[in-house]
Structure 1
């Protein structure tokens, strides 16, 4: 377990860059702690003197388990429990996440509760929607107030499905400063949709915050904008483009598949209810 974020990032990065699409969330967490976010968990598993697996969490976000092999879950859960770690939520591929949650529950007595899961998609051959009116452009500092409102609206909708996030008032500006790029779709001088292409990391960029206000939905604006962002990212030399889509949203899944996105894995999120909390609730 590491308390030095830089030392952990240097040691863990080879685990994650071996498959940057699979480890997209972990690489985002790694970037966060490098930029000063508090690491909730930063641990490596070594085998034969070399990094074999990694587990990372930053700030209030779920701890990411995409780099933790299933057979290492019991040892890692035991070590974290012995160290007094407090885990509220973990996420990652279903086999790895369920294995760790089972081990953590056995060590701590915590109950496990599931949130809606997501598919991780990776872009193959891009097919852009045709006939959508309007045009895309990159957002600038002048667009920050609107982007922040739309990001919060997006997060509020996710929170209603049990896996939202808390946004600080300057999170959008921080995102732009860090190298993320927001696209906006415009119709006759009016912005009607946004999407974010995250700062490339190890040849990978993730599309996030694909959002259209309710009054502008149903016209394909967000789909067209997402496709344009994917093209821009690819043209800039980033080969791996990924995104998450809720398993329970058949419309968005069909749209992404028509655009050329292919399923990589199911990403699940599991929350822990400590044993002492259950006792108090009873």
Structure 2
């Protein structure tokens, strides 16, 4: 088995996109993140770690499952497309290159396998950062809520960045990643995603984004309503509008993640037609104490 590190993002994407497309729901984060980086690279960001896994190398052409992994520091490792049999090799490779693995984010079974393998080799412990559930749209049932959805424009970048910063502060207060969301907003727009705002009396009251379909899949997120506009159904309305945008854009699978610790979001999305598909998780790794 051979693990190869790539530095050409576009060439890496061309090689691995078919692997991720084979299961676009379980690989939804990889598909949307990597496509966004290709569409609008951030010259100021630390280069991502891009790895492919060749199961035939050194095995006389023995058939196996190819895979890929990636990391955009300081975010956790993405291992949704890593074959189970390759996890020990991946961990050895990461330790050999002394890559600073801060955690893992993946469907639950993959995340657990990588975490257990990593901690057995590197020591330390894992801490649950967030438990997620991916929902898949069944039959869209928009709520009856006053207002209308509008596609965001360049004039809305500052507002969307500010709201996404607030969303990140609420959803992931543990994460020390860059809080300025201007670059991610512009990347989302450059990628062709559907960034929508819900307006009531010409005032924006809620926001949701849906990724441009890839492999027939579009993922909604983030969804954010400022505190002063909550409890009016605006999050349900803008989520339904984002789902409609995704369907009209050609998606046949519309998905979104919810925080399992938030019963409100898990309930409202089911009311507009979303059904559970699979659970995912993000773990943070806590290094063992150093000894002198």
Q: TM-score, normalised by structure 1?
A: 0.90
Is the counterpart of residue 219 in structure 1 residue 228 in structure 2? no
- Runs of 4+ in structure 1 over 4 Å off: none
Q: Are the aligned partners of 1:116 and 1:163 in contact in 2 as well (CA < 8 Å)?
A: no
Is the counterpart of residue 58 in structure 1 residue 72 in structure 2? yes
CA-CA distance at 1:45 after TM superposition: 4.3
Q: Take 1:142 and 1:33, find their aligned partners in 2: how far apart are those partners?
A: 22
Q: Are the aligned partners of 1:119 and 1:246 in contact in 2 as well (CA < 8 Å)?
A: yes
Q: Take 2:190 and 2:65, find their aligned partners in 1: how far apart are those partners?
A: 32
Is the counterpart of residue 12 in structure 1 residue 16 in structure 2? yes
Please point out which of 16, 23, 28 is paired with 1:24: 28
Q: Take 2:269 and 2:109, find their aligned partners in 1: how far apart are those partners?
A: 24
Is the counterpart of residue 3 in structure 1 residue 9 in structure 2? no
CA-CA distance at 1:167 after TM superposition: 3.7
In structure 2, what is the equivalent of residue 155 of structure 1? 168
* Secondary structure of 1:202 counterpart: coil
Is the counterpart of residue 40 in structure 1 residue 49 in structure 2? yes
Calculate the aligned-residue CA RMSD, in Å.
Answer: 2.1
In structure 1, what is the equivalent of residue 59 of structure 2? none
CA-CA distance at 1:99 after TM superposition: 0.9
In structure 2, what is the equivalent of residue 191 of structure 1? 204
Gaps of 5+ in 1: none
Q: Take 1:7 and 1:182, find their aligned partners in 2: how far apart are those partners?
A: 28
Q: Are the aligned partners of 1:129 and 1:259 in contact in 2 as well (CA < 8 Å)?
A: yes
Question: Structure 1 residues 45, 167: closer, same or farther in 2, change over 3 A?
Answer: farther
Please point out which of 178, 193, 198 is paired with 1:166: 178
Q: Are the aligned partners of 2:151 and 2:194 in contact in 1 as well (CA < 8 Å)?
A: yes
Is the counterpart of residue 120 in structure 1 residue 129 in structure 2? no
**Equivalences, count:** 277
* Secondary structure of 1:201 counterpart: coil
CA-CA distance at 1:175 after TM superposition: 2.0
CA-CA distance at 1:41 after TM superposition: 4.2
